[in-house]
Structure 1
C-alpha cells in the first residue's frame, strides 16, 4: 500500500490513534466520535441520536454504534429528575474512554483527571471548543504538559513535515531566501524519503523500531540505495526481510550494517556487466516465396524449415481434412461387431485351438 497524506492547514479534527486503531469499535462509532468532536459549542446541546440522523445513520446502525461507545467508555448516560416531575437523560461524550467516576465528576462540572466539561462532551483542559466560523478556529491556548502520547512513540515522530527538515528548522539551519522555490533538491528529497522508510520499519516488525534521531543518522546511507535505482518499497523489503533467528539486539546497529554490506552496485557498473554478458539479439530471417497455391507472394518465416505462409498453410490443412472426410464417406468402415458376435468368435477360436 502506498500512503500519501497531506495534512490540512486548518479546519480539521484531531483523532487519537487509540480511537482510530481500536478494532473493537465499528466504523460508525468512530465516525460519530469524530463528527461530534468537531462540532461548534452551540451545537452540542443536541442528543447523540440527532447527530447520528445528521450523518444519515439508520436506527440499527446507530444503536450498535452507541452500544459500542457506551461499552468502551466513550459515552456515559444517566437519567435525572427535574422540576415538574419530569426526567431527562444526561449524556457525557468523550474522545477518550472515561470511567464512571470521571463521567460523574464531569456531569457535576468538576474537572476529572485533566479533563474539563465543555457543553455535552469532555475534552482535555488545554483544548478550546471550535467556533462556527469558517474555517473553524479556537481560542489560543498554552501547551499541554504530559499529553496522551503512546509509550512506544517519541515526541516529534508524528510530525507532518519530514523529520530531517523539521530538525534543520529547529536547529536554526539556513533560512530560505526571499523568492526561493520551496521544492527540495534531489539529494534532500531522497534523504527525506529514506528517513520515512526507516521510520516505517516499525510497522514491519517491532525489532526494527527507530527513533527520529536514529533514523536521521541512517538516512544518508539509505538515500544512497535510492540513488542507485532502488525503490522505497524494495528498500523496505531489503531491510526488514531475513532477520537473524535470535532477533535483533540493536535496530540502529543492525540496519547500519545491512545498509553498508548489502548496498547494490551503481547502475553504470550493472549496465556494463549486463551488456558484456548479454548475447546479440537474433537477426530476422529473409523474405522467401510461399509454396502455397495462388499468386506468388513473399513472407518472412518464423523458422528456417517453414516454406508456407500462415494463410496458405491453414488452407492446405482444411483441404486435407476435407479429403479425408470424403474418403471416409465413399468407403465407409464396417460397423464394429456386437458383443454376441465377439463371444461367438472367441468360442470358435477356442474350439479350433482345442
Structure 2
C-alpha cells in the first residue's frame, strides 16, 4: 500500500489510534470528538449540542453520538441547582476515557467552586443559630490531658462501697437457656452434620463406574512393579485420564498391560509423572460413531382391481387403504367440480381416459343417461 501524508502542524488535529480504531463508536461520535478536541479555549463555554449543530449534527444522530461518548468515558455531565434556583448542567469533555471518579477529580482541579456542595445540600444544612446549646455546666479543664484520679476510684476499688447504690433500671429478663439435650454416649463423637452451627452440605454424587474401575487398576499396579506405588489421592486424580481409556472400549486388562509395557531403561523416578505421561500421550483414538442401519424399505403391496365405474377393469398398486386408482380419484374430483361450475374445461395435463371418466361421472351426478 502506498501512502502520501503531511506531517501534522498547529493547523491540524491529532487523533489517537484508540479513537480512530474504536469499533464501539460510530463515525458521528468520532467526528464530534475530534472537532471539540481541536477547538480553542474560547469555545469551551458552549454546550456540546451547540457545537454539534455547527457540524450539521442534529436530532437522533447527535443523541446517539452523545450517548456513545458518555458510555465510553469521553463526556461526563453533572446536573444541579445554582444559587438562583435554576438547574444547570455542567459538561466535561476529554479525549482520553475517564471513569466517574477520575472525571470528578479533574472537575475539582479545573473548577474548584464546582467541587463544593450543591445548592440543595447547602439548603438542607441548618444555620448556626438554629442549633441548640449544649446541655450541662462547664467543667474545668483537665491537667495534662488526663482525667482526675478521683473519677477512677470506683473502678480501682477492690471492694464495693458500703453505701447502697441506686438500682439501675431493670432491663429485659434474659431468656432461659434451652434444655440440654441428651449427652452423647462415651466414645461417640458427633459428626460435622450433627454439630451445632454446621451447614448441611449437599450429598456428592457417586463416582461413575469407569472412574471406580480405573482407580482400581491404578492401585493394583504396585503388585506387579513396586516402583508404581500410588496413594489413594494420586490414583483418584489419575483415574480421570484412565477412565477415558475404558470409555473408548478397552478392558481393564488391556489398560493394565498398556501401563506396564515397555518400562523406561533408567527406571521410574516418579510414578505419578510416568503414569500421567503414558495415559495422556498413548490414549487410543475414540471409535467412530456407529451409524444406525437404514430401515428396510416398506414391503411392496399386491395389485388390486380399481372399484370405480370405468369402461374396463384395471388394476393398481395402492399406497394406503384407497380402493380407486389415482386417475379415477382425480376424475371423480374433477367431475364434482364440473357439476358445480357447469363447465367442460379440462387442464392440459389431463389424459383422454381421465377426461372420458370425468365426463361420465359428471353426467351420472347430473342424472343424465350415459
TM-score, with structure 2 as normaliser: 0.29
TM-score, with structure 1 as normaliser: 0.30
Greater relative contact order structure (CA < 8 Å, 6+ sep): 1
Bigger Rg over Cα? 2
